[in-house]
Amino acid sequence: MAHRYLPYIQNQVLELADPSRVLTRKENREEFESSMDLAAKSGSCDQNELQRNRIFVELQNMIPVTLNLTLSEVPGKNALARYANVTEEEVEISK
């Protein structure tokens, strides 16, 4: 199980370290949010599932706050910059 979760964590840190980088995970999330909106407008989805998905999106949007302390210190900024310079997005297994 850990081998499936590690790429997700690595990509999450990469996204936080370099928010302007184009990542497949961000594109997939945007598509997911769009499909959620369409399903909500058409009424073609389970309301409990829609609410659960909205909560997950809200939580995802709150994650950048976790790095405020790291970014407030020069060593933390440098560490994230180095990480972003040497790290590439890994394929996340979704099944």
pLDDT by residue (tens digit) across 8-34?
889 999 999 999 999 999 999 999 999
**pLDDT under 50: residue ranges of the chain:** none
- Give the list of residues 6+ apart from residue 81 with CB closer than 8 angstroms, or none: 17
The answer to whether the beta carbons of residues 40 and 50 sit under 8 Å apart is yes
Token pair, residue 16, equals 């936080």
Task: Look up the pTM and report it.
Answer: 0.77
- Separation of alpha carbons 61 and 36, rounded Å: 16
- 19: DSSP letter: T
Query: pLDDT value at position 83?
Result: 95
Q: What contacts 24+ positions apart, CB below 8 Å, involve 32-37? A: 32/57, 33/57
Query: pLDDT value at position 73?
Result: 93
- Separation of alpha carbons 60 and 62, rounded Å: 5
